[in-house]
Structure 1
């Protein structure tokens, strides 16, 4: 038995016992805190040892759907101003945790089940990456080509309209793949090109005021880069702490920066650094409940799930799988043949499942909220098991493909970029995965057929 996991479990139990000194906490809330601490410590310990992007999904689901709702229930939920702004949890804690607790547990079981059945998972991941390194010796030019295509496509996304924009968006992701191809190759001056690529990625995030993709791609890419490296524990926890501070800073200044950037009155690196410096100049703000509320509210996906549970079935019927099946169909049928097929972004689902009409900003019900809105409590729990299992089986499939095409693992950050998120919906997560898989197949096919490049 892994001694580290025993230590992590004991530490998680210790945290739970500390929190339980306040007897107002429910057993589900205490268990959620314990699970989050355990999976977080296990995730940090796995840096350099193994690689599973779905561990990120588990952490986000526990944090956004269970830990943050606990904070809101105990700190903010009875505040008159919070209720007036509709930022409260809406439904009782009994009803909310009666669904969300077993649903998240079912998601975790679905994700972990294939790995339990394949005890060699960690070894297979490492061996596939080693074969990818060998395969890319003398082929760094492939990564350079990807970076050029991704760079040009990234600029084009500002000008190409309609459905064609999504095609360009997929080609833009070659920038991320190219970075990994160059890193794992013997390409000369790789540090220069990697630096330029990262500069472009960060610059585009600043221009658009959108940092979510930057955070996820850096996280998934960095974990892949660190795979196989012997990293001391203090360094792992230092990396994790720096990453959490980075994310916290981004979230704390994002609203102010985005307002300035989108209004045309400001933006750019100077404003961003100014806002970050302002936050760091007064660390006390990070521990004030009033100042913390925007971050808590942004991270609390349970707020929207609670509104789904309040709205359905009291004011709208269960969808009985309609939006799920429609999402699957939308992944394969082009808009040219289905002009009215659903559009990702959350507007339709928010209106249907919560009664809220959103305009000018993005908000979505999450896969958990959509699972409840379609199948009620019991059916939603079962669905979340198969939802987690689906993505776990995709990784199993990629490892199988990796026997002949080891570089397939370098596409994982792009393939799972949207699938590890919890604040979107099933259309975004599944549709993105399926279309990205088709895009990867096309790139390998085109490389073999037209460019004579064995990607």
Structure 2
């Protein structure tokens, strides 16, 4: 173990140890805080050295399903208004952490197991990206083609409905892949095209009021862009700090921006968005006031919905016993034309079945953790989360193997794992998007070879 790993481990141990002086903190809460610190600091230290999208999944799971519930349990949970609005945790800390803490440990074990059994994971990632750079010498036009196709598809998504709309959605994601292809190539005017592509991506987020995809793509893409670069410790932590501040600012103004744009109370755009950002920056006390901070905590607290699943099942609804999981897997392979009433993503049916809440006009979902519990109870749900993490880790192992002959496959990882690293969706969304994404990538490589004579 090198010095940086020792320091990270010590910090991750000492911070919870100091917090344990407050007797109100439970052991599983302190352990969750220590795990988050450990994986966050390791994630920052690995900038430029390694790349694994699933590290983001681990951090998000710990943040949304452990840290935010800790805040709610200790600060908000007994507030009468919070209880009336049903933003409380719904179940006791004993019951919640009795499932969630071992479930997160199982997820982490499943994700990390293949890497522990492989030799030199970091070296394989680095070698693959170097081969991708060599492969793209003189081929920057491929990235430009992807950007154009993605840009056009972005407009078509407005007009194309149903399953065909999802195909267009996949082609829209070529915009992100094209940015990476150009970046890693020797294309002469790549700075111009990269700037234009970022402008399009950010403009779309402003137009739709949806910023989640922007945040995830920037995180996944930035880590890939920095792979192989020598980056000092100070710069790594500066990048991490700016990233955290960016996410906090986006989350703090997202609701206000949507209220204005979606309800027609004003005209959206960069001017409005940056005006809201400026107000937040000039009034930093809002980030230290528990009342003003609650909307951010609540939006990031996936544990609130998981708690409602645990409160509802099996008291008022039976365990699904794997039904929604197996249905999700089947729905990933069977086209809707052959299965007209197959389940759709979005969370409406899962929320009604597993929490009793009927949602209209907005999106909310129970998360893979909530679905694991709702299907298999505590023990089965914990086991499921291990295999859930293992599944994604094995996909990355497979892609690294393919990268020996197709090194640019690494540049597709941000769009392949765009939904897989999220915890606020469900198994259908995460697995379905990954499997369909893999089929789409295969199609692009096949079509490039067969019709365009382009070795992608």
- Which bracket does the TM-score occupy, shorter chain normalised? over 0.9
Tell me by how many angstroms 1:354 deviates: 0.2
Q: What is the deviation of 1:2?
A: 2.3
Aligned equivalents of 1:206, 1:131: Cα separation in 2: 36
Distance 2:290 2:182 in 1: 45
Q: Which deviations, in whole Å up to 9, do the C-alpha atoms of 1:347-397 show, x marking residues without a partner? A: 000000000000011100000000000000000000000000000000000
Q: Which runs of 5+ in 1 are unaligned?
A: none
Name the structure 2 match of 1:206: 206
Residue 13 (structure 2) pairs with residue 31 (structure 1)? no
Deviation at residue 14 of structure 1 after TM alignment = 1.7
Deviations 1:94-120 (A, max 9, x none): 000000000000000000000000131
The answer for the alignment partner of 2:441 in structure 1 is: 440
45-54 vs 11-20, which moves further: 11-20
Which residue number in structure 2 is paired with residue 280 of structure 1? 281
How does 1:122-161 map onto structure 2 within 5 Å?
122-161=122-161
Please give the alpha-carbon distance, in whole angstroms, between the structure 1 residues aligned to 2:97 and 2:173: 38
List aligned pairs for 1:45-64, cutoff 5 A. 45-64=45-64
Q: Can you give the 5+ residue segments of structure 2 that lack an aligned partner in the other structure?
A: none
1:346-361 → structure 2 map (5 Å cutoff) = 346-361=347-362
TM superposition shift of 1:262:
1.1
CA distance, structure 1, for counterparts of residue 39 and residue 285 of structure 2: 28
2:90 match: 90
Matches of 1:383 and 1:17, distance apart in 2:
31
- In the alignment, the residues of structure 2 paired with residue 7 and residue 286 of structure 1 have an alpha-carbon distance, to the nearest angstrom, of 29
* 1:300 partnered with 2:284: no
Query: What corresponds to 1:339 in structure 2?
Result: 340
Distance in structure 2 (CA, Å) of the matches to 1:383 and 1:331: 18
Q: How far did 1:266 drift?
A: 2.2
Alignment of 1:212-227 (within 5 A): 212-227=212-227
User: Superposition pairs for residues 189-204 of structure 1, below 5 Å?
Assistant: 189-204=189-204
- 1:43-80 Cα distance to aligned partner (Å, 9 max, x none): 00000000000000000000100111000000000000
1:375-432 C-alpha deviation (Å, 9 max, x unpaired)? 0000000000000000000000000000000000000000000000000000000000
Matched residue, 1:373:
374
The number of aligned residues is 455
1:12 Cα deviation after fit: 1.4
Q: What CA distance in whole angstroms lies between the structure 2 residues aligned with 1:328 and 1:276?
A: 41
Rounded Cα–Cα distance in structure 1 between residues aligned with 2:340 and 2:353:
20
- In the aligned structure 1, how far is the partner of 2:92 from the partner of 2:56? 28
Residue number in structure 2 paired with 1:311 = 312
Cross-structure match for 1:173: 173
Distance 1:100 1:415 in 2: 26
SS at match of 1:395: helix
In 1, the alpha carbon distance for the partners of 2:269 and 2:159 equals 20
Q: Which residue of the partner structure matches residue 413 of structure 2?
A: 412
TM-score by length of 2: 0.99
**1: CA distance between counterparts of 2:150 and 2:435?**
20
How many angstroms does 1:267 deviate by?
1.1
Q: Quick check: 1:185 aligned with 2:185?
A: yes
Runs of 4+ off more than 3 Å: none
Match of 1:162 in 2: 162
Aligned residues: CA RMSD: 0.6
Matches of 1:263 and 1:94 in 2, distance apart? 41
Spell out, residue by residue over 1:126-176, the C-alpha distance to the aligned partner (whole angstroms, 9 max, x if none): 000000000000100000000000000011111111221100000000000
Moved more, 39-48 or 155-164: 155-164
Distance in 2 of aligned mates of 1:392 and 1:2: 25
- The equivalent residue for 1:41 is 41
